[in-house]
A = this chain, B = another copy of it.
Amino acid sequence: MVVTSDSESGLDIRRLCRTGDFVEPTSGRAPGYVQCNVVMMPADSAHHFLGFCEHNPRPCPLLAMSEAPGSVALTALAADIDIRTDLPQYRIWQDGMLTERCDNVTHVWEDDWIAFALGCSFSFEEALIGAGIAVRNIIEGVNVPMYRTNIPCTPAGPFAGNMVVSMRPMPAADAIEAIQICARFPSVHGAPIHIGDPGHLGIDDLGRPDFGDPVTLHSTDMPVFWACGVTPQVAVENAKPALRSPTNPATCL
């Protein structure tokens, strides 16, 4: 869920989050541990959201969900998780509107809530760096640029919307290697969904991302696009139910 440098474990970071002592993005932390985007919502919407993940596994690779409504553990993922407190930050939507940012959701959690943990691209960035590939957003110290595309997700109940992609520019030889590396990690978005012309995805201007920050593109770079964990956030906004659905901004925005 969260991780740090060198010997730091996921649990180390979760405990820091739990006490409010860690409120930063988790990119690059706890190497070797999978990173997740987290979405929570009332059980009466959750079965539709589960369907949305199953229909759209590239942007929404489901790693774990609450075993029962109200359960704050995700035992399939790790021991000692309290999903209400163990993320660095949360965002709360109500009726499709972002209403609050906070470092825990204990005050709004209800006993019919279900939490979903979805694989995050922060995990494969670690693998790319390990293979000697320069990840531009990390080098430039900014969040990865993300864009709304013209690719519709398969809807499920009220959850619908177009896929959001993250983009990392790199030379073609690195792109070829990145495709091979990321294909080995289907649970954290897998291989890129597109390389080259952004117009193919309906993206007009790479310099103006819809989420995150712009990064530099060199003349020898090729933009490489991955399905992104912000996709479910857009689907939650579109759902506009009387729905409180905190997501983890540390790993998705």
Contact = CB atoms under 8 A, between A and B. Distances in A.
B172 A191 contact: no
Q: Could you tell me the dominant secondary structure of chain A's interface residues?
A: mixed
B183 A197 contact: no
Interface residues of A, number: 17
Nearest to A177: B191
A200 B220 contact: yes
Contacts of A195: 172, 175-176, 195-196, 222
Contacts of A176: 179, 191-195
A180 interface: yes
Interface in A42-97: none
A200 B191 CA distance: 24
A222 B193 contact: no
Contacts of A191: 176, 180
A200 B172 contact: yes
Interface of A: 172-173, 175-176, 179-180, 183, 191-197, 200, 220, 222
